[in-house]
Amino acid sequence: MESSDCMVVVAPAESYSLEYGGQNEAIFGRRTERIAREIAERRASGRASVRIQDRGALEVTLRARIETAFERALEVEKEGEVAR
């Protein structure tokens, strides 16, 4: 992963949780918590565990990466349902 970017992993879960790691955790922790929770609520009614490894991502980057992760996770889930 390059600097100014972040890696997001999303998995289905009973309730919302966030695991956040990065150099600037103290500065960006609250911002990240707010954004991740908002997207998790909207995309999956909060039923998701989110892991973020941050290398100094701007808010736009963080949002784009989280949205992509949720979209991909939901896509996989949908395909799973179709297969069943």
Contact positions vs other proteins (CB under 8 A): 2-5, 57-58, 60-61, 63-65, 67-68, 71-72
Q: Give the nearer residue to other proteins in terms of CB position, either 15 or 28.
A: 28
Nearest distance from residue 14's CB to other proteins, in Å?
27
Q: Give the nearer residue to other proteins in terms of CB position, either 3 or 15.
A: 3
Q: Give the nearer residue to other proteins in terms of CB position, either 25 or 75.
A: 75
CA-atom Rg of the chain in angstroms = 13
Cα separation, 81 vs 84, in Å, equals 5
Nearest distance from residue 60's CB to other proteins, in Å?
4
- Provide the greatest CA pair distance for the chain: 44
User: Which distant-in-sequence residues (6+ apart) come within 8 Å of 22 by Cβ?
Assistant: 6, 28, 52, 53, 54, 55, 56
Nearest distance from residue 11's CB to other proteins, in Å?
18
